[in-house]
Structure 1
Amino acid sequence: MKMFLSLILSLLAISGMPLFIVISAAALLCFYFLDVDLSVVIIEMYRLAANPMLIALLLFAFAGYVLAESGASKRLVRFSSAILGRTPGGLAVVSLLSCAFFTALTGASGVTIVALGGLLYPALIEDGYEENFSLGLLTTSGSLGLLFPPSLPLIIYGVVSDTKISDLFLAGVAPGFLMLILLSLYSMYSAVRCGCTGMHSRFNFSELAAAGREAIWEILLPLVVLGGIFGGFLVLSEAAAVTVFYVLLVEMVIHREVKLRDIPSIILKTSMMVGGIIIILGASLAFNAFLIDQQVPNKILELMQTYVSNKYLFLLILNFFLLLVGCVLDVFSALVIVVPLIVPLAMSYEVNLIHLGIIFLTNLQIGYSTPPIGMNLFIASLRFEKSIVHLYRASLSFLAILLITLGIITFFPALSLLWMK
């Protein structure tokens, strides 16, 4: 009977059944067969509902969707182009910066590819960049901003691992910039190699001033949010509320690109995404409570300690595992399912949980674009109307750079813990 039900659950998961249903069913069946009190599910749901960080998650997600509905992406691209247009590879660097900034604010790589891909891809081709380079750049850049605050995955990791979220915000800055710098250097090299020097886009102070005036409100947004948090004026949920007020003021009153009639559909989109995250969180926490009750983490720990002798070998194995997870699961599901199992292992090898969070998100970010089933590859295939195999080839050089960055982030923890006291 148990084998039969396990087989059915596996088939449902493979067939595309919503993940929270599969996880919930697995948890309930395990509790039932082992005569575990089902009240643990209710307790975990209540504990989750009482977590004040969920308010911040909801508000930041809403602000991100408002920005996605506005012309913020075009203004940011114009401003970046005005600064870097003359630089060799300037447009490619503009694409990287714009995608990272936009993903950090919206928290979703798919939204970035859809919103900016149609704007940047034709511009890159027109500027003389090779098709494979342009496709690979935009496909892998879609998830670049996951390490920058106020990224939703950083908040989720903080909630699940019981880690201070403001510390995670600081920890992601240096690794995120390292990733951008290495990708920018490669883009500049590729631009020179294919003759895209950017000289036809001469620096124009008047254009820079005009673009700066137009994008100034979006540029100031991170300063408002992070200044409030790290200046000690706002806690995270208050910063999220200020962000919503600021974004609505800018996009509805100043730019007037988001209308009052658009708000219900934005609320619906936000509710669907955050509601899905919360349901997955609740189901996963209940399932994780079962695993802990059955001492599964302890058994995994004993197995690891038998065969894995040191911290660095553990981190190497962890990276391979997380890259695979990043291919198969979306970032939110991966966080709530895997983090509770990994945290005890990491602590046993004396891995700092802040550093672990940055390693975790870097892997998931790369996994989004890793063949054969990285999510960004399929989104880009639909957006640019190219075959998935074509995008595999186009993304390889960018993936190599991202993997090098992952190695640096993993084995040089000081990069993530630079600002820690």
Structure 2
Amino acid sequence: MTLALALPAALFFLAIGSHVAVALGLVAAALLLVFGGVPITVISQTAFKSVNSYSLMAIPMFVLAGNLMMRGRIAELMIELVGSIVRAVRGGLAQTVLITSVFFAAVSGSSVGSAAAIGGSTVDGLKREGYPVRFAAALVAVGGTLGLMIPPSLGFILIGSIVGLPVDKLFLAGILPGIMEAVLLMIGVAIMTKRNDFGYKTARPDFKGFTSRLPMAAPALLMPVLVIGSIYSGFLTPTEVSAFAAGYAALLCLFVYRTVRLGVMWETARESMLQTTMIFAVVMGGSLVGFVMARMGVSQALIGALHAAGTNHYVFLLVVNVVLLFLGMFLDGIALIVLTAPLLFPAAVALGSDPIHFAVIMVANVEIATLTPPIGLNLFVMSGIARIPVHEVARGVMPFFAVRLTGLALITYVPAISLALVK
């Protein structure tokens, strides 16, 4: 009954324009004070403890690294390099966009950041080659979601901090699912471009152009190798790698490519700080909601109900996917994670799920959430870049949902895809 009252209250605060962190914090604090009899000092201590985490300290640096790579016009360099070879096939520029999305996913950790970086460099080019603007915007929006799965993923950092899982193992678990998702998207794009006769192709691969561009692109290409390699080898922790990635990105943009001036560097750092502050605010608000659920025994009640109903592991995962897909229509990825992770992880483990595998399932749902109206963030980003209404981007994304749901099903029911590099 108490939680039933909390949901309309939270929706009311969101409807009047409150930030999601404020809405969550106010509702949770009211529940604790009125029904839980908790001193106000405990509320403040719980909020502080939620962000006083070594793992979360990786977020500011990864955000800064991604923003620097976006400001440094690295996307244009990658598109020219990859396009030298790939544009010799039908729909080659669209495939180039997806391959470049994989690269940016491995340096930014952000879906929105990847979409913004690649969209600004490719949408006009896609339009010039005969792709409908709706398809072009949707392609970049969908490709940008790979930034949530392929490490370094901000989603995995949040989940690891909230439920106490090692972030380095979560990063490793996201590599193969991210590659699989990229391959599925490339197959889907190949079918769409051939069926609709989208795009042009060059007469033959430009190997000479590729080899001439490779030395210039090599320092940027080395960045994801160093980041993932340092984590996989155990040489650096994810938090240490985040600082290394930000420093390496700064060196690339300032001294190697010289695409960012010191003034822009300061502006980028300030923007990254504001983005991190918003993320931490949502984490604080969500942690208070989690504290309420724990105090009221919601997780244990859910586990008891599932056992009483005889729910098996596979049915539970199906129900979780349906619930997360629905909630993803109304919550951004960060809020979705911090609200549902404390509730769902204990139930998943009680029913036999591997927690690392379950984390990958949750991130796969968050990827789709960035594409679902009415508040899918990637839809709004690409609406602004492509200069078309949000509903047009959403219509363009619709054909890609079959591909994304296929990937989600494989990730959910084939655990080896997520656990092969971890076990």
Check whether TM > 0.5: yes
Residue 409 (str. 1) matches residue 411 (str. 2): yes
Query: What amino acid is the match of 2:334?
Result: F
Q: Counterpart in 1 of 2:297?
A: 295
- What's the CA shift for 1:358? 0.8
Q: Counterpart in 2 of 1:124?
A: 126
**In the alignment, which of 282, 285, 305 is matched to residue 284 of structure 2?**
282
Q: Counterpart in 1 of 2:27?
A: 26
Single out whichever of 325-334 and 63-72 deviates more from structure 2. 325-334
Residue 200 (str. 1) matches residue 198 (str. 2): no
**In the alignment, which of 74, 80, 84 is matched to residue 86 of structure 2?**
84
Query: What amino acid is the match of 1:86?
Result: A
The question of whether the paired residues in 2 share the 8 Å contact of 1:355 and 1:413 is answered with yes
The question of whether the paired residues in 2 share the 8 Å contact of 1:326 and 1:365 is answered with no
Single out whichever of 97-106 and 15-24 deviates more from structure 2. 97-106
The question of whether the paired residues in 1 share the 8 Å contact of 2:150 and 2:171 is answered with yes
**In the alignment, which of 139, 142, 145 is matched to residue 140 of structure 1?**
142
The question of whether the paired residues in 1 share the 8 Å contact of 2:333 and 2:369 is answered with no
Q: What SS does the aligned partner of 2:419 have?
A: coil
Q: Counterpart in 1 of 2:339?
A: 337
Q: Counterpart in 1 of 2:172?
A: 170
The question of whether the paired residues in 2 share the 8 Å contact of 1:368 and 1:377 is answered with yes
Deviations 1:265-318 (A, max 9, x none): 112111111111112212322331222111111122223333352111111110
Deviations 1:173-224 (A, max 9, x none): 1111111111111212233334457542521222101221222111100111
- What's the CA shift for 1:63? 1.1
Partner Cα separation in structure 1 for residue 325 and residue 6 of structure 2? 29
Partner Cα separation in structure 2 for residue 392 and residue 186 of structure 1? 17
Q: CA RMSD in A?
A: 2.3
Aligned residues: 421
Q: What SS does the aligned partner of 1:110 have?
A: helix
Identity among equivalent pairs (%): 26
Partner Cα separation in structure 1 for residue 23 and residue 240 of structure 2? 35
Partner Cα separation in structure 2 for residue 417 and residue 250 of structure 1? 34
The question of whether the paired residues in 2 share the 8 Å contact of 1:229 and 1:239 is answered with yes
Residue 358 (str. 1) matches residue 384 (str. 2): no
Deviations 1:340-398 (A, max 9, x none): 11111111111111111111111110121124442322332232222333333321111
Single out whichever of 108-117 and 363-372 deviates more from structure 2. 108-117
- What's the CA shift for 1:54? 2.4
Q: What SS does the aligned partner of 2:372 have?
A: coil
Single out whichever of 393-402 and 94-103 deviates more from structure 2. 94-103
The question of whether the paired residues in 1 share the 8 Å contact of 2:92 and 2:201 is answered with no
Distance 1:41-1:214 versus aligned 2 partners, 3 A rule: same
Q: So what's the TM-score if we normalise by structure 1? A: 0.93
Single out whichever of 314-323 and 193-202 deviates more from structure 2. 193-202
Deviations 1:317-340 (A, max 9, x none): 100111122221111121112111
- What's the CA shift for 1:413? 0.7
Partner Cα separation in structure 1 for residue 13 and residue 413 of structure 2? 39
**In the alignment, which of 39, 42, 48 is matched to residue 41 of structure 2?**
39
The question of whether the paired residues in 1 share the 8 Å contact of 2:158 and 2:337 is answered with yes
Distance 1:127-1:260 versus aligned 2 partners, 3 A rule: same
Q: Counterpart in 1 of 2:191?
A: 189
Partner Cα separation in structure 2 for residue 310 and residue 277 of structure 1? 35
Deviations 1:100-135 (A, max 9, x none): 322442233333333322322222233233444333
The question of whether the paired residues in 2 share the 8 Å contact of 1:166 and 1:229 is answered with yes
Q: Counterpart in 2 of 1:318?
A: 320
Single out whichever of 299-308 and 330-339 deviates more from structure 2. 299-308
Q: What SS does the aligned partner of 1:327 have?
A: coil
Q: Counterpart in 2 of 1:214?
A: 216
Query: What amino acid is the match of 1:23?
Result: L
- What's the CA shift for 1:3? 10
Q: Counterpart in 1 of 2:382?
A: 380
Single out whichever of 15-24 and 387-396 deviates more from structure 2. 387-396
Distance 1:389-1:173 versus aligned 2 partners, 3 A rule: same
Partner Cα separation in structure 2 for residue 243 and residue 131 of structure 1? 34
Query: What amino acid is the match of 1:376?
Result: N
Partner Cα separation in structure 1 for residue 132 and residue 100 of structure 2? 20
The question of whether the paired residues in 2 share the 8 Å contact of 1:99 and 1:112 is answered with yes
Distance 1:26-1:194 versus aligned 2 partners, 3 A rule: closer
Partner Cα separation in structure 2 for residue 158 and residue 184 of structure 1? 30
Distance 1:4-1:202 versus aligned 2 partners, 3 A rule: closer
Residue 390 (str. 1) matches residue 392 (str. 2): yes
**Unmatched runs of 5 consecutive residues or more in structure 2:** none
Q: Counterpart in 1 of 2:107?
A: 105
Distance 1:403-1:379 versus aligned 2 partners, 3 A rule: same
**Where does structure 1 differ by over 6 angstroms across 4 or more consecutive aligned residues?**
2-6
Q: What SS does the aligned partner of 2:189 have?
A: helix
